[in-house]
Structure 1
Amino acid sequence: MSTTPDRHPEPTAESLSVRGLAALALAPPLRLAVARHAVPPGSPARTGCDGCGASLRLGGPGSGPAARCPRCRTRIGAPAGSVEAGLAAALAVLVLLDAPLAERAAVAWWLVWAIPLVLIDLAVRRLPDRFTAPAAAGVVALLAVAASTGAGFEPWLRAVAAGVGLGLAFAATTLLLGRRGFGLGDAKLAVGVGALLGWYGWPVLLAGVVLTFAFSAVTSLGLLLARKVTWSTHLPFGPFLVLGTCAALLLTP
């Protein structure tokens, strides 16, 4: 657990408004990132609209909230409102999280990358290195700042060990079980997850893993009962990993 005594003050209505506007400003580039990288594994990033070929850029296809190309109206990228909903959820986590500024910065950094990762995984069952690598690296770097500004390096070393350990544990299932195990994308996402939760202690890391598998099990059972999937269906695990991490962070005392 972090031993930093000072906690973040309660947010005011004005500060919440500023944070909300800042979060909405991130929506177009995040939506564009999803549109470009929500492609099958091994395929190059999407550069144009699938319907008319219009170039993907800010202000053009793939970045608008309607999730349609403004030229040909082809649906492209994340579903309408999904990026904005993800940003609202991320902002809620940051508001509810009782932690010093440097720790909040690490969580905020990870959440910004987690949003497109969740949407890409849901769309095409992949977690691109372009997002998992900076998510993990940024968390480790920002937690190092938190360590140097008061928390000490013991929690940082634990965070690094937890990140490496959880990533290797996920990767081991791929090597041992093949397609029945987790994907390497899940393992790379788990590095940032492990570092973030490990900073707060081994019990928090364990809680995050347990919650992740609980969310996955409940969702799978519900879909099976509704006959939306079969026993052989492989659900994307990234969204559950992100959800379990957020839940564990909010339960941190």
Structure 2
Amino acid sequence: MSAGPLIVVVLLGVLAGSATPALAGRFLAPGSRDLRPGLLGPGSHWARPGLAVAGGVVFGGLAAAHGAEPALPVFLLIAAVGLALSVVDLTCLRLPDPLVGTTAAAGTLGLVAVAATGGELLRLPMAAAGAAVSLTVGLLLALLPGSRLGFGDVKLATALGLPLGWLGWPALAWGLVLPHVLGGVWALALLAAGRVRRDTALPFGPAILAGAWLAALIA
């Protein structure tokens, strides 16, 4: 992707990040903004400049890696919803079904439309297989004794399995592994800083989303 279109996509990401607090706020229970100040710091849930920068980085990374990919608009829409999901999960340990459902619908309908109009029908089975593999792995991990993986996490991972499967098996493999690496590193860092205890419940949705984003960049 040339510099001009890339800048446009980055600016769209900045706008998406700036709009994230308004979207996420619709799914927060009253008073939940202060539920987890020990993890995020006072007021950090609504740090609009930080979310704007995050949106620009997320959108820009996808555009730089997949500027020629017909499904790029689908990836960007999923990323925009993912920003809101991260904020909600970090704030109140929830992955609301309407947002997760939007992610799944955007992936399904968007990729079907791209496949039908761009002659990419053979990639649809890969996308479906990505979702099926993600669902299977997620359920197995969630059902393990002592697992802290919630079914909201499983549903999100399944929804993200669609675009990762579309990109191919390497992207899907990275998307399954990286969330656990990122989540583990983050938990260890919080433990070392004394901001959580071993029994503190931590959100895993942001790690799933960040892992899927990185997988899309490197695969």
TM-score by length of 1: 0.73
Higher RCO, Cα 8 Å, sep 6+: 2
Partners of 2:9 and 2:63 within 8 A in 1: no
Q: 1:247 aligns with which of 195, 214, 217?
A: 214
Cα shift at 1:190: 0.8
Residue of structure 2 in register with 1:156 after alignment: 124
| Cα pair distance change 1:219/1:205, threshold 3 Å | same
Cα shift at 1:124: 0.5
Residue of structure 2 in register with 1:142 after alignment: 110
Partners of 2:115 and 2:121 within 8 A in 1: yes
Question: Alpha carbon RMSD of aligned pairs, Å?
Answer: 2.7
SS of aligned partner of 1:233: coil
Residue of structure 1 in register with 2:13 after alignment: 23
Cα deviations across residues 181-239 of structure 1 (Å, max 9, x unaligned)?
Answer: 31121111112211111112222211121111111112222222222222222211111
Work out the CA distance in 1 between the residues paired with 2:44 and 2:179. Answer: 29
Q: Aligned pair 1:188/2:155, yes or no?
A: yes
| Cα pair distance change 1:233/1:206, threshold 3 Å | same
> Larger helix proportion, structure 1 or 2?
2
Gaps of 5+ in 1: 1-9, 40-45, 51-74
Q: Aligned pair 1:86/2:54, yes or no?
A: yes
Cα shift at 1:27: 4.5
What is the aligned-residue identity percentage? 26
**After superposition, where does 1:1-253 map in structure 2 within 5 Å?**
10-13=1-4, 15-27=5-17, 29-39=19-29, 78-150=46-118, 152-175=120-143, 177=145, 180-252=147-219
| Cα pair distance change 1:77/1:227, threshold 3 Å | closer
Greater C-alpha radius of gyration: 1
Cα deviations across residues 140-171 of structure 1 (Å, max 9, x unaligned)?
Answer: 22222332244533321121122133124324
Gaps of 5+ in 2: 34-42
Cα shift at 1:31: 1.8
SS of aligned partner of 1:182: coil
Work out the CA distance in 2 between the residues paired with 1:18 and 1:96. Answer: 12
